Amino acid sequence: MAKAFFFDTAFGRIGVCECDGKLTYVFFGNTVKPPVYAVERTPLLDLAAAQILEYIAGARKAFDLPLRPKGTPFERSCWEALQSIPYGQTRTYGQIARHIGNPKACRAVGRAIGRNPLSIIVPCHRVIGQNGSLTGYAGGIEMKKALLGLEGRA
């Protein structure tokens, strides 16, 4: 059974979830949530919460956690591409589509990014529109602005 732990941050309440020793979800707002879980603290969930809090405090730029996001092979390829976006930088949906070798898949990339179950850790907030606009974000545009602002990209 999946285990989840909730904690408060400067950006609001965040939940982290693990299954079999791997982080499977980071959720808040309208982000993707696990279908079933038991509320229980574990060493991995404590570590994930600590790393997210360090990130929000500006003391961490990368995460070092075992991850197991559930998705299709296409979705996972998009999420892997997101992890290659350096802290403080952004990419467009088109750039992500080209990165995964499917340059015409911008809309499919957008759908896959919208299904990212590991928000913040798999940095979907770093993806912007072709014209530089802040496009949709499951955590809300204000959260996206705040996360990009934290990274110096507001």
Look at the block and give the residue holding tokens 């070092």.
64
Position 27 pLDDT exceeds 60? yes
pLDDT tens for 83-141 read 999 999 999 999 999 999 999 999 999 999 999 999 999 999 999 998 888 888 888 89
What integer is the mean pLDDT of 16-35? 90
Report residue 32's pLDDT band, with 50, 70 and 90 as the boundaries.
Answer: confident
pTM: 0.92
pLDDT for res 153: 65
Q: Which CATH architecture has domain 73-150?
A: Orthogonal Bundle (1.10)
Report residue 29's pLDDT band, with 50, 70 and 90 as the boundaries.
Answer: confident
Position 35 pLDDT exceeds 80? yes
Do 46 and 53 touch, CB atoms closer than 8 A? no
Do 96 and 126 touch, CB atoms closer than 8 A? no
Exposure string of 89-110, with b = 16+ CB inside 10 Å and e = fewer, is ebbbbebbbbbbeeeebbebbb
pLDDT for res 61: 95
106 is catalytic: no
CA–chain centroid gap for 152, Å, is 18
Q: Mean pLDDT over all residues of the chain?
A: 93
Strand arrangement of the beta sheet that strand 22-27 belongs to: 22-27, 12-19, 3-9, 38-39
Instruction: Out of 31-40, 77-86, 98-107, pick the least confident.
Output: 31-40
Position 154 pLDDT exceeds 70? no
Amino acid at 94: G
Report residue 18's pLDDT band, with 50, 70 and 90 as the boundaries.
Answer: very high
**Concatenated DSSP letters of 5-22:** EEEEETTEEEEEEEETTE
Neighbours of 13 (CB within 10 A): 11
What integer is the mean pLDDT of 65-88? 96
Q: CA 154, CA 134: separation in Å to the nearest integer? A: 9
